[in-house]
Structure 1
Amino acid sequence: MRVIGDEVPYAKWLLARLRNRSTSTEEFRVYMREAGRLLAIYSSRELEWAKVSVTTPLGAQAEELELASPPLVVGVLGAALPLVEGYAEVFPSSRIGLVAARRLESEGGVRVELYYRRLPRVHTGSAVVLDPMLATGKTIDRVIEEVKSIGAGKVIVGSVIASRPGLSYIGRRHPDVTIYSLAVDPDLDSRFFIVPGLGDAGDRSLGVSPD
């Protein structure tokens, strides 16, 4: 688990704007895209890299790095769309996957159903699952299972804000998964919103509330 806000003041600057209820939809999208770029940069240490030699304008050789295999970036609709866009701006060769999930409540508890899935049949490289809010962890858990089912060799999760209960849940379910988040908040309310959080990331990104 890496908390980017503990390392980078700029992440705190972004969070101040994302959390602020006065931030407009347009501004919120801009800051979410920037959060996606930040997550891409900081989680890049988890990706597969290969050494390359390039020729500089002086005719000299310099050894640097290139992605050995483009990651599969999986966004949870619709809140993650700006995050995915920001990530892809950093790594344009990324493969993009999308999933949509809903929670189904019953006497036996809550389960998550994926009702939309656009993923490759097989992906054996690294996969990055992006969702702005890691609340209970149950949606992320379901998406991780789906990504692992197509063969992903390594799974990374990127969020803007994660809750401590959600992190504990994912840690128990998927100890092999590395999580990057700009911040960790302590609590969930009765509706399973992260507190203090930033509200409904999907509504604020899209500018439309569901009926």
Structure 2
Amino acid sequence: MNNVFVSNHPLIKHKLTLLRSTKTEHKKFRELIRELAMLLGYEATANLDLDDVPVQTPLAITPGYRLHEEIGLVPILRAGLGMVEGFHEMIPGAQVWHLGLYRDEKTLRPVSYYNKLPVEPTVQVCLILDPMLATGGSAVAAIDVLKEWGVKRIKFVGLIAAPEGLEVVQAAHPDIPIHLAAIDEHLNEHGFIVPGLGDAGDRQFGTA
């Protein structure tokens, strides 16, 4: 699939296995989400633009660099919240803008309930954060919002995706890079990813 990048990093594979396990309790689950976000963030930001900035070391002036663009983290509530801390540790200056979307259990379509984006974009790059890309509806809706807002570059970063959801996102937005830890087998009749890891929000916040 074009623009879909699945990590082969051994640490990501190891931590994702722990994340999937039913034996992993809420606290550890949240820690793993943060750690996986950091690792995926490293890969997803590999092509960010830089400015040249000379820096004075104790011995000499040497070439240095800083990020050229303002970065925005856009977690899809509520499951995406768990990924923010990991990204913020990597990019402490990033802005955070929340989008509230939930999936109607009957239609499996996304329903928007929260959006506080300002009138004009304050960032040039947005990283949409959502652990699960299932039907693809929420991802497409989030990308629609950010494009309408006027963001120049958008990436989606998640942990697990279903092939069906990937097809939906790529059909609607073939220009958007998608960074993942794994692509699973399929969606079941209830729209859940199989084998997946269950409800990422419930497992993070202890509401299962």
Q: Give 1:184's aligned residue.
A: 183
Instruction: Kindly state the Cα deviation for residue 110 of structure 1 after the two structures are TM-superposed.
Output: 4.5
Over 3 Å counting, the alpha-carbon distance change for 1:188 and 1:120 in structure 2 is same
Q: Give 1:122's aligned residue.
A: 120
Q: Give 1:43's aligned residue.
A: 44
TM-score by length of 1: 0.91
C-alpha contact 2:18 2:24 (8 A) present in aligned 1: yes
- The SS at the match of 1:152 is coil
C-alpha contact 2:5 2:180 (8 A) present in aligned 1: yes
Q: Give 2:15's aligned residue.
A: 14
For 1:41-86, what per-residue CA distance to the aligned partner results, in whole angstroms no more than 9, with x for missing partners?
111124332222212222x233232111221110011111120111
**What is the identity percentage for the equivalent residue pairs of Structure 1 and Structure 2?**
35
Q: Give 2:130's aligned residue.
A: 131
C-alpha contact 2:75 2:130 (8 A) present in aligned 1: yes
Pair 1:95-2:95 in alignment:
yes
| CA RMSD of superposed structures (Å) | 1.5
Q: Give 2:53's aligned residue.
A: 52
- The SS at the match of 1:23 is coil
C-alpha contact 1:128 1:157 (8 A) present in aligned 2: yes
Mapped to 1, the partners of 2:119 and 2:104 lie a distance apart of: 26
Q: Structure 2 unaligned runs (5+)?
A: none
C-alpha contact 1:79 1:201 (8 A) present in aligned 2: yes
C-alpha contact 1:47 1:71 (8 A) present in aligned 2: no
Q: Structure 1 unaligned runs (5+)?
A: none
Over 3 Å counting, the alpha-carbon distance change for 1:169 and 1:49 in structure 2 is same
C-alpha contact 1:48 1:126 (8 A) present in aligned 2: no
C-alpha contact 2:125 2:151 (8 A) present in aligned 1: yes
For 1:175-208, what per-residue CA distance to the aligned partner results, in whole angstroms no more than 9, with x for missing partners?
1100000111121111111111111100011112
Bigger strand fraction: 1
Q: Give 1:166's aligned residue.
A: 165
Mapped to 1, the partners of 2:40 and 2:64 lie a distance apart of: 21
Q: Give 1:146's aligned residue.
A: 145
Matches within 5 A, 1:66-77: 66-77=66-77
Query: Residue type matched to 1:33 in 2?
Result: R
Q: Give 2:6's aligned residue.
A: 3
C-alpha contact 1:132 1:159 (8 A) present in aligned 2: yes
Which moved further from structure 2: 157-166 or 60-69? 60-69
Mapped to 1, the partners of 2:149 and 2:27 lie a distance apart of: 35
Query: Residue type matched to 2:188 in 1?
Result: D
Instruction: Kindly state the Cα deviation for residue 35 of structure 1 after the two structures are TM-superposed.
Output: 1.2
Mapped to 1, the partners of 2:187 and 2:28 lie a distance apart of: 26
Query: Residue type matched to 1:88 in 2?
Result: H
Which moved further from structure 2: 63-72 or 140-149? 63-72
Which moved further from structure 2: 94-103 or 195-204? 94-103
C-alpha contact 1:135 1:163 (8 A) present in aligned 2: yes
May I ask how many residue pairs the two structures share in their alignment?
A: 204
Mapped to 1, the partners of 2:55 and 2:142 lie a distance apart of: 38
Over 3 Å counting, the alpha-carbon distance change for 1:29 and 1:104 in structure 2 is closer
